Structure 1
Amino acid sequence: MIFYFLRNRTKFDIVHIHDIFILPQLCIAFFAEYFGLKVILSPHGILDPIRLQKKSLSKSLLFKFLVYPIAIRAEKIIATSEKEKHDLIKLGFERVVVVENCIPSISVKASNCYSYLKSQKLTLLYIGKLHSQKGIIELLRAIVPYSDAIELILAGPDDGMEFAIKQFISKNKLPNVHVLGFVSDAEKAELFSLSDMFVYPSFAEGFSISILEALQAGLPAITTTGCNFKMVETERAGYIVPTNNLTAELSKVLHAVLLKREKLLPMKKNAIALVKNKYSIDKMAQQLHEIYEK
């Protein structure tokens, strides 16, 4: 990738880099700046203060000596929320604009792998990395009292927490929790159809595509203030809980939902309308086009 860029650099006016802790992409950004090309960066939430505090020594050094110098000179840094923009400005970056994530309306044929998970219980779905920052252990603690009334599906690749999650499930005897690992788009579509709600209890997030996909599929969402997605609550497409005392806050919401599951029906309609009206891929493309033109 680096050599392709160097051979063809005269063909480019702008270089837009995503995921800025990947070394080959950082090298391309470095050479692009060296050759006088405009560089645009999309950190996608990975420069959140909480995430930066938890970086390994190698990534901290990478940030200090390579990421930061490149980012401070970038033509634009694209944040996915006002919160992320605020955090980036606090780090010293000035040319920050907000472009919220959007998703295309694509119909994927659902698989038929998980029919055994179909349940009359309230079925919660989480799709994302199994990482300590995602609040999964706090979610598990919240559902312990409701193990007879709730099924929880955890789908996504391990990022350091799968062993601890499985230990918790075993210790607390939670047969209602299912850890599936990575799932394909077809499997994801099936899980959406089997679930009643999407839950994403992350302590800090840029702007989660997983939440948008779930809303588009008609799943009301339970998210946190750390997810920077206020419209879930303002558009009555789900619930937002504070990250402080997360287990207790999740427990309150789950209790309320179990008492009045009929409230989920209008929320499902609101979820679909929210993505259709506010987060179309055409809107995002127009915003990026305007940034490139400037």
Structure 2
Amino acid sequence: MQPASIALFEGNLLLKALRETDRALLLPHLDASICRKGDTLFEAGAEVTRITFPCDHTVITLLIAMMDGGSAETATIGREGAVGGVVSNGRVPASTHAVAQIGGPILRMDAVRLQEAKRRSPALRDLFVRYSDCLLAQVLQSVACNALHPIEQRCLRWLLTLQDRLGTDVLPVTHELLAAMLGVQRTYLTRILRLLQEQGQIKVGRGRITILDRAEMESAACECHGRIREHFETVLGAVYGTDGLVAVDPPDPIEGAVEPDPLHTVRKARR
């Protein structure tokens, strides 16, 4: 791995939102690397020792894998966030697989170094608490979506989420990948994509899906994508352009406020 450069540092919106003093706490400990499509960053049950920040168009997916070989996506993370010990303090067993859905540049650092930096900077700590809350919200909304909404709406939600993180109309995704993310058979998904194409919302090509009418897709999708977007805007200060996320501008911490505990949020959700 190579030391992180300032240019690559700004390829991740979460890191780019940091003040110079907080950047200085992280930059010496960040290593630059390239992950390829399909690379596994960590597996369920393995100890998570490093934080990974996707940069530019890199996208990481958190997957739950079953004993019968099936799997389903629980969260999609791009340049707006990070994976690996973000909600916890790191160095605990992972509950999911983290796989590079779209390869590209990443920045990585030891989880212990991040915790040290968070202890030294209330602003840095506040930013990661806010992001952890948004990541949990995405996971929990995905659970509800998978249980309650038809595959057509789930497919649209997933495509919109991916476009948010890529900022482009052309999504480099295959039928096989999308079927795996949604936990359905490829033949079934192919019929769904054909229907969406006939409706003029997308165009299906070899190894890619092109968004033709985002507004119509947002109207036809379930409310899950809109709810997560609103949560990211409110809690993290996410800024959306016409094609998705373009910046993170977190609200100023409330002086004297007690910081929420992301693990407490998980425990409450399980009750």
TM range (shorter): under 0.3
Task: Give me the TM-score of the superposition, normalised by structure 2.
Answer: 0.28
Question: TM-score by structure 1 length?
Answer: 0.26
Between structures 1 and 2, the one with greater helix share: 1
